[in-house]
Structure 1
Amino acid sequence: MTAMRPRRSVLYMPGSNARAIEKAKALPADTIILDLEDSVAPEAKAEARNQVATAVRAGCFGAREVVVRVNGPDTPWAEDDLAAAIAAGPDAILLPKVSDPGAIRAAEARLTAAGASDRIRLWAMIETPLAILRLDAIAAAASGPGARLACLVLGTNDLAKDTRARMVPGRWTMLPWLLTALAAARANGLDAIDGVYSDLSDADGFRAECEQGRDIGFDGKTLIHPNQIAAANEAFAPSPAEIEAARGIIAAFERPENAGRGVISLDGRMVERLHAEMAARTVAVAESIAGRM
């Protein structure tokens, strides 16, 4: 298995804040989302757009993945945002409030018409009740000619607002939606990023939610402050014990006597070939993270 791009920590940075954008170039986050939507006031949209486009073109973000979140198609800033983002050439463009695959196809058409590089991917925010009901169709937009969809991002605060669900410890009110989004992403070969944790004073609660997201299967978590990066990076990375165990499983299946076997005995337990595939992914993630150091 080839190395993959880690997305443990996905930090939103307001596009209107030049100091924050500059600071992002030195932060240990895997991904930086330069935001033109929620964090930018209406009167600052145009300036933020220009500032973000300039920063993306200038680069200097190192190994960090750079994503631009544009405003939604029902806003007066959408067309200019998308045009500026395409011209700047980030790693991905994050589309907000995606409720059907049409929004993704429309953005793909704009990218194609502009002759944009194939490397520019699309990410989709899943943050409306309608998006939850249409998750299969949205995630399936990752297939077909010209498909660019690479990642689903959960907008849990917006989901809470629109459904009136309460944000409670353990998030049992949202688990069905989180799990459905994760299943839709995996069924279509997509990454999936968990929603934000808004209480910056509750480090223990944040860490617990990171661990929950990891255990559900998310690739990482969206963040609202640099202070959250370290905990997210730790939670969504394989531990040394997990890496050691994974290497042991891989080595066991590579022994000549186990060639072609679907099940083997290792350290007193039965291990299937699928566990070797899971182990290979664990090692690939660990090596990808190590390569960023």
Structure 2
Amino acid sequence: MRSKLFVPGNRPALFAKALASAADLVSFDLEDAVADADKDEARTQVSTLLRSGTHRTAGKQVIVRVNGWDTSAWEADLRTVLPLDIDLVNLPKVESPVQLLQAIAEIEAIEARLPARAPVGLLVNIETPRALRHADAIARAHPRVRGLQLGLGDLFEPHGIRRSDLRNVHAAQYALRMAAAEAGVFAYDAAFPGLDDEAGFLAEAESARALGYAGKSCVHPRQVAWANTVFAPSHEEIEAARRTVDAAARTGEGAFAVDGRMVDAPFLARARSVLAIAHRKEGTA
């Protein structure tokens, strides 16, 4: 999940390009990227594509970002999206566990009228000061929550917080990552608005990767390669992880030494995670 490419739901001309891109995930957006007058058209276009199964033929995981639970578009979005073959629903503007549970109750009411299937998982946006303060409780509120996604535009811009100061970015990334870690869900980094600012994108992405984020959102195909590079384990990391896992197989899973350092359960878990990521990368190369 190194890269997630946003695609406006009312821009069907971009769908095939997104599915053919190197992005690990494609996120069809019914929310901020679509004007109110175009919401119905966006739902129709996204539904038509996903009912065709083209996304599975392309080997893509797919997310749909719906409009907020307190908007007029919310129910229509759910009725369109929940019957579709998707991997996650992206919920924006959630600020508390109470709001999340209210949204899930409405999702469940619609799912109850659909053919039986596994409950859809949720990627929950954390994009306001209140949401960030309650992020751990939001992440732990329901087992449908698979991950938290940072939204720096909404979090910073209304309050005059400078995104160009990486200290501010790191503070928000750290807070969300700790909340996700406490809940045992993944953390996903924010989209970066600078389409030609490779250095700025990489600075945020590298900060997120150092904190254990799964990947970064992209708003343009050129950003996908940048994200994939940052979040892919290096050859050195893969080989070190392999040595750690091999040593555990030889000696057992207590404490043991590898490459001149002591290794125990947390380090072994990380090594296995690195190998799993490398295996997925090889499978989608």
Task: Provide TM-score, normalisation by structure 2.
Answer: 0.92
Q: Secondary structure at the match of 2:168?
A: coil
Residue 174 of structure 1: SS of its match in structure 2?
Answer: helix
Aligned partners of 2:249, 2:200: CA distance in 1, in Å? Answer: 41
Query: Any idea what SS the aligned residue of 1:10 has?
Result: strand
Distance 1:50 1:215 in 2: 39
Partner of 1:85: 81
User: Could you tell me which residue of structure 2 aligns to residue 269 of structure 1?
Assistant: 261
> How much has 1:119 moved relative to structure 2?
5.0
Alignment of 1:9-24 (within 5 A): 9-24=3-18
Deviation at 1:98, TM superposition (A): 0.7
Deviation at 1:179, TM superposition (A): 1.0
8 Å CA contact 1:70–1:94 kept in 2: the answer is: yes
Q: CA deviation at 1:169?
A: 4.1
Question: Quick one: distance in 1 between partners of 2:18 and 2:267?
Answer: 37
Q: Could you list the per-position Cα deviations for residues 102-150 of structure 1 after superposition, in whole angstroms to 9, with x for gaps in the alignment?
A: 33323332333323522521111110111011112101123xxxx3111
Alpha-carbon distance, 1:203 to partner: 1.2
Unmatched segments (≥5 aa) in structure 1: 1-6
Q: Secondary structure at the match of 1:88?
A: coil
Q: How far is the alpha carbon of 1:217 from its aligned partner?
A: 1.4
Relative contact order, higher structure (CA 8 A, sep 6+): 1
**Structure 1 contact 70–93 (Cα < 8 Å) conserved:** yes
Matched, 1:287 2:279: yes
Partner of 2:40: 46
CA contact (8 A) 2:4 2:27 kept: yes
Q: Distance in 2 between matches of 1:103 and 1:91?
A: 22
1:107 and 2:108 aligned: no
Answer whether contact 2:169 2:204 (CA < 8 A) is retained.
Answer: no
TM-score computed with the length of structure 1 as normaliser: 0.90
RMSD (Å) for aligned C-alpha atoms: 1.6
In the other structure, the counterpart of 2:148 is 152
| Aligned residue number for residue 197 of structure 1 | 192
> Which is worse superposed, 182-191 or 269-278?
269-278
- Which structure has more helix as a fraction of its residues? 2
Mapping for residues 1-293 of structure 1, pairs under 5 Å: 7-61=1-55, 62-113=58-109, 114-115=111-112, 117-118=117-118, 120-142=120-142, 147-170=143-166, 172-255=167-250, 258-259=251-252, 262-293=254-285
> Between Structure 1 and Structure 2, how many residues are aligned?
279
**Runs of 4 or more off by more than 4 Å in structure 1?**
none
State percent identity of aligned pairs: 38
Note the residue ranges of structure 2 that are not aligned, 5 or more in a row. none
